[in-house]
Amino acid sequence: SQQGEEDPQALSIQEGENATMNCSYKTSINNLQWYRQNSGRGLVHLILIRSNEREKHSGRLRVTLDTSKKSSSLLITASRAADTASYFCATVLVLNNNNDMRFGAGTRLTVKP
Amino acid sequence: ETGVTQSPTHLIKTRGQQVTLRCSSQSGHNTVSWYQQALGQGPQFIFQYYREEENGRGNFPPRFSGLQFPNYSSELNVNALELDDSALYLCASSFPGDNEQFFGPGTRLTVL
């Protein structure tokens, strides 16, 4: 399956600590994206990393991609209580303009004030 | 520029009924994808529409169908509702290709 699988399923940390979430997948991809979701609402795009990239940064977010291991990680530095949410990785394979995006089950992050 | 909107926000139906969910894509986006998200799970890809035609489909039965209109808005129709169809239905719009998708707030469907 192309679908990503996140690890851990749940993570609880103190404000100010770093949070690391991992994603593994099984097939070739064009890119991998990370999304955030608050309490069953719509998903918000965080960052996209292409298959020929190894690392990307956006503010307090750092994403790595290892295509040889078919894995990615999302690091949130200096976490805040407002970072509490579910985080999903999504693998994308493009075929005939079809943006086939498959999500994992997500990591539930709780940041305690 | 307006974001992705979905209607209704909540819906309650009974088994066997039919439902239509609606989505307006973000301005300029011609591709719309629909996802089903069960409680505690990640979104599952239902199908994608590009220029009014289905352009990819996930592992969902034919009773899940859709439409895309010339203004790129879209509908998801589900016939013969089952209890397991209870979920958050998300629509996302994008440009074709491997770009990020912009999600709407979702429609919470409950089937009794």
- Look up the CATH number of the domain holding residue A63: 2.60.40.10
In angstroms, the first-to-last Cα distance of chain A is 38
Residue A2 has pLDDT above 60, yes or no: no
Partners of B45 on chain A (C-beta within 8 Å) are 100-103
Residue A2, both tokens: 């192309």
Q: Which domain holds residue A49?
A: 5-112
Partners of B100 on chain A (C-beta within 8 Å) are 33, 45, 48
Match 């819906």 to its residue by tokens. B11
In B1-112, the DSSP E strands lie at 5-7, 10-13, 19-24, 31-37, 44-50, 53-57, 64-68, 74-78, 87-94, 102-103, 107-111
Q: Which of A42, A88, A101 sits opposite B106 (nearest CB)?
A: A42
Min Cα–Cα distance to chain B from A82, Å: 19
Higher pLDDT, A100 or B101: B101
Min Cα–Cα distance to chain A from B98, Å: 6
Residues, chain B, total? Answer: 112
Reference B80, options B20, B21, B18; nearest CA is B18
Domain count along chain A: 1
Residue A44 has pLDDT above 60, yes or no: yes
SS3 state of residue A82: helix
Residue A1 has pLDDT above 50, yes or no: no
**Which residues fall within 8 angstroms of residue A65, CB to CB, at 6 or more apart?**
A32, A49, A51, A53, A54, A55, A71, A72
Check: CB of residue A7 under 8 Å from CB of residue A87.
Answer: no
Partner B contacted by A94 (CB < 8 A) = yes
Partners of A106 on chain B (C-beta within 8 Å) are 41-42
Partners of A48 on chain B (C-beta within 8 Å) are 99-100
Residue B8, both tokens: 């209704």
Please state, in angstroms and rounded to a whole number, the distance separating the CA atoms of residues A64 and B90.
Answer: 27
Among A96, A101, A103, A107, which would you mutate to test the B interface (most chain B Cβ atoms within 10 Å of its Cβ)?
A101
Higher pLDDT, B112 or A99: B112
Please state, in angstroms and rounded to a whole number, the distance separating the CA atoms of residues A35 and A92.
Answer: 13
Residue A5 has pLDDT above 90, yes or no: no
Among A97, A102, A107, A108, which would you mutate to test the B interface (most chain B Cβ atoms within 10 Å of its Cβ)?
A97
Mean pLDDT of A1-10: 77
The tens place of each residue's pLDDT in chain B, 112 residues long, gives 468 999 999 999 999 999 999 999 988 888 999 999 999 899 999 999 988 999 888 899 999 999 999 989 999 999 999 999 999 999 999 887 667 889 999 999 999 9
Partner B contacted by A61 (CB < 8 A) = no
In A1-113, the DSSP E strands lie at 5-7, 10-14, 19-24, 31-37, 43-50, 55-58, 61-66, 71-76, 85-95, 98-103, 107-112
Whether omega before B8 lies within 30 degrees of 0, making that bond cis, reads yes
Per-residue CA distances from B42 to A60, A81, B81, B95 (Å): 24, 22, 21, 22
